[in-house]
Structure 1
C-alpha cells in the first residue's frame, strides 16, 4: 500500500516535513477554506498541490494523492431542487482536480455531522489520550442539552434515567465541554456549531427518512460517478462514523448491505469505497474481510484504525492499531491480496493509498494543540506498526 497521512493545510501543527520523516510518500488533504458547494478552482488546487509537492535538495517531495474530502452539499443530501446547481459544481470541481492530476476523491453522505464523539481526551492506562463515544453521554446531550423533540424514543429507559442523573450532577463547564465535543464541525475545523443553528439543521431533515436519504445518495452517484469515470477519477465514499442512526438522522453507509445497494446504484468502478476499518469495525455484525473480498475492486482508499467496543454498552474508544476489535492481520492480508490480484491483471491502480487513522495523543504531543485524532507521534507509531505488519505478510505470502 502507498503510505500517506492526512494534512489539514498550512495551519496544521503536523508539518509536511513531519509527514515525510514518518516515511510517507503521499499526502491526503482538502481545501477546507472553500465553502461547501462552491467550485474548487484550478488556481486553489494548484496552490495547495505546489505546497505539498515542493521538494528541495534536502527534502524529497511528497505527492497529493487523495482529496479528503470534497464535501457534498446538504441540499444534495436532502434532495432539494437546488441540488442540480451543487451537483454541477461538484462535477466542475472533479474536472479541475483531474486537470491538476489528482485521481482519488473521498466524500461522505452523513447528514449534518461528519463524525460524532463524546470525549476527545479519554486517557488509556498507558497514559495515551484518544477519542471515545459514550452512548449515555450522547443521550444526555440529546435529551437534556439539545432537548430534541421526541428524542426519548431513541434511548432505552435505563439510559434516559442514568443520563438524567449524570446531567443533574455536571458542572456548567462539563456541560459546555460535552456540547462542544458533540457539535464539533467538519474535520479540519475546530469550530463547533451553535446549538440553535444545529437544531435548525436537524429540523431540515424532519421529513427525510432512510429510504429518501438512500435515494438522494444514489441519485448523486448516478450523476457524478460517470463524470468521474470519464476523468479517470475514483470516487470513494467514507462509511458512517459511528455506523448507526444518531439524533434521529438516518445513516445509510454502515453495513455490507449498504455497500451492495450503493454499488448497484451506479455500476461503474469509479463509484467506490473508502475502506475505513474503524468506522465499520464498531459494528460487530460487519465482517471486514468478507467486505474486502466482495467489493475489493471498488476499494480505492484505505483508513486503517481500530476501536474497542466496551462490553455490554454501545460505547467504544479508539484502540491501539493492532490490538482492537479489528483483526488487523486478516484485514491487511486481504487488502494485500486484492493489490496482488490487480497487479496480476495489469491494473494501473494496483497499489492502494492508505493512511493510519486516529493516532493517540502521546509523549510530547500531550502538551501540544492538535486536531483530534491527528497528532504526529501517535500516527507515526501507528504507521510503524502497520508498515511492519504489511512487510511480514508480504514476506510470508511471497509478494513483491
Structure 2
C-alpha cells in the first residue's frame, strides 16, 4: 500500500514540508484553479510537479505527484449539453498531457452539481476537536425552507419534515446563511463556489435526467476516454457519490457495489477502475466495504481510507467523520482485503501491485483548530489517521510473513 497525501497546492495551509514530515511516499493533487472543461496544459502540470518536489527552503522534497484528484468532468459532459463534445476532447488532451508527465492514476467523479455535501464543516466533538457532519434534519431545513426546492417537502423519511421545520424556525439569519454555505461548499479548493441561484439553475437543468440517463452519459464518457487511457497506460478511477444516496432530487449512480459492477461491465477495461472510498460508501449500512475490496479489487486503482459513524441507518441519514478506527467500517478487515489483493497482483506480475491510498479527511485536533486548513484536511488529524492505518498495515504484514 503506497502512502499518499492530498495537497491543494501552494495556498494549502498544510505544506509540502508538513506532508514530508508525515512520512508519506507521494502526493495527490489537482489543478483546482483550472475550470472544468478546460485543458490542463503541460506547463501547468509541470509547475505543480515542481511545487510538490520542492520544500519551503528550495531543497528537494523527494516527493512526486502520484495521483490526480480530480480531473473534473464538466457539468456539460454529465448532462450532454452545451459544449460537452469540446469538453470531452479537452479531457482527452489533459489525459495525454498527464500521461506524458508520468502521472498515470486519475481519479474523477460523476456526481451532479456538488462534489460532496455536508451540513457542518466544524462539528464539535466530545473531546473538543471538530469534524465534518451530515445532519439529515439540517439538510432538510436547507432543502425545504432555504432553497425552497419544489417537491422537497415529501422527499424525506417520515418525521423529518417536522423536525426540519422546527430547526429552521429556530435559526437566525446568520445560522441560515452558514448552513447554506456549508451545503454548497462543494470541493475544497475548487474554482467554483455556488450561490443558491447557481444551485437552483443546475437543479433545473437536471430535471429531465434520471439515474438511467445519467448512467448512460457516464458510459458514453467512458467509451470515449477509456480506450485512450488504455493506450496511454493511464488508470481512471471513479469516486463514489458522497453521500451515497439521492439529494436535492438529483440522480445518484455510483453509490453501491451494484452501481460499480454495472459500469465496470459496460466498459470492460483495466483502465476503467474504482476509487474505493470507505468513508463515502460507508455512509450506507448496506455497503460492505471489505467485501467490496475482495470482490472488486481487481479494478481498484486508488483508496480513500476514512471512517464515518452513522447516526441512523435510514437514507438519507445522518453521519459524521469519525476517527479512522472509530467508525462503522472495519478498517482492519478493509486493510487485510487490500493486502490480499496486492499479494494477488504481485503473483500476476502486475506493475500496479502497490495500490496508492491516502488517509482521507480527519478530525481537527490540537493545532489543527488554529490552522484552519481546508475542511476535512487537517495536518494532525490526518497524521493520526495515517499512523493508525500504518499500524494495521505493519501488524497484518508481519503476521502474514510469519515473523510475529
Quickly name the TM-score band, shorter chain normalised: over 0.9
Kindly provide the CA deviation profile for residues 68-115 of structure 1, in whole angstroms up to 9, marking residues without a partner as x: 000001111112263221111101000000110000000000000000
CA distance in 2, matches of 1:262, 1:339: 23
- Within 2, Cα distance between the matches of 1:93 and 1:242? 28
Shift of 1:344: 1.3
How far apart, CA to CA, are the structure 1 residues paired with 2:394 and 2:235? 27
Inter-CA distance 119–384: structure 2 relative to 1 (3 Å threshold): same
- Kept in 2, the 8 Å contact 1:184–1:190? The answer is no
CA contact (8 A) 1:39 1:90 kept: yes
Asked if residue 52 in structure 1 is aligned to residue 52 in structure 2, the reply is yes
Aligned runs of 1:123-202 on 2, under 5 Å? 123-189=124-190, 192-202=193-203
* Distance in 2 (alpha carbons) for counterparts of 1:190 and 1:158: 37
- What do residues 370-394 of structure 1 show as CA deviations (whole Å, max 9, x unaligned)? 1001010111111111111100010
In structure 2, what is the Cα distance between the partners aligned to 1:395 and 1:165?
A: 54
Q: CA deviation at 1:367?
A: 1.4
Deviations 1:92-148 (A, max 9, x none): 000000110000000000000000000011111111200100111111000000000
Matches of 1:186 and 1:399 in 2, distance apart?
43
Q: What's the CA shift string for 1:190-219, capped at 9, x where partnerless?
A: 974111121001100010001100100111
Corresponding position of 2:338: 335
| Structure 1 spans left out of the alignment, 5+ residues | none
What is the deviation of 1:187?
A: 2.4
Matching residue of 1:16: 16
Are the structure 2 counterparts of residues 119 and 57 from structure 1 closer, same or farther at C-alpha, using a change threshold of 3 Å? closer
Partner of 1:263: 264
Which digits, 9 at most, give the CA deviation of each residue in 1:302-325, with x for residues without a partner? Answer: 000010001365110011101210
Aligned to 2:319: 316
- Is 1:359 aligned to 2:350, yes or no? no
C-alpha contact 1:17 1:59 (8 A) present in aligned 2: no
Would you say the 8 A contact 1:184–1:191 is kept in 2?
Answer: no
Distance verdict in 2 for CA 1:70–1:312, change over 3 Å: closer
Question: What are the within-5 Å matches in structure 2 for residues 14-93 of structure 1?
Answer: 14-54=14-54, 60-80=61-81, 82-93=83-94
Quote the Cα distance in structure 2 between the aligned partners of 1:322 and 1:156.
30
Q: Aligned pair 1:102/2:103, yes or no?
A: yes
Q: How many Å separate the matches in 1 of 2:76 and 2:312? A: 38
Answer yes or no: is the 8 Å Cα contact 1:289–1:330 preserved in 2: yes
Answer whether contact 1:180 1:192 (CA < 8 A) is retained.
no
TM-score with structure 2 setting the length? 0.96
**Equivalents in 2 of 1:75, 1:22: separation in Å?**
39
Change (3 A) 1:146 1:399: farther
Are the aligned partners of 2:17 and 2:61 in contact in 1 as well (CA < 8 Å)?
Answer: no
Match of 2:2 in 1: 2
Q: Does 1:226 align with 2:220?
A: no
Using the TM superposition, name which of 53-62 and 293-302 deviates more: 53-62
1:57 Cα deviation after fit = 9.3
- How high is the TM-score relative to the length of structure 1? 0.97
Secondary structure of residue in 2 paired with 1:363: coil
1:328-381 CA-partner distances (Å, limit 9, x unpaired): 000000001101111111111110111000111110111122100101011111
Q: d(CA) in 2 for partners of 1:260 and 1:399?
A: 35
The equivalent of 1:397 in structure 2 is 400
CA distance in 2, matches of 1:128, 1:189: 25
The aligned residue for residue 237 of structure 2 is 236
1:148-182 CA distance string (max 9 Å, x none): 01112212342111111111111111101100000
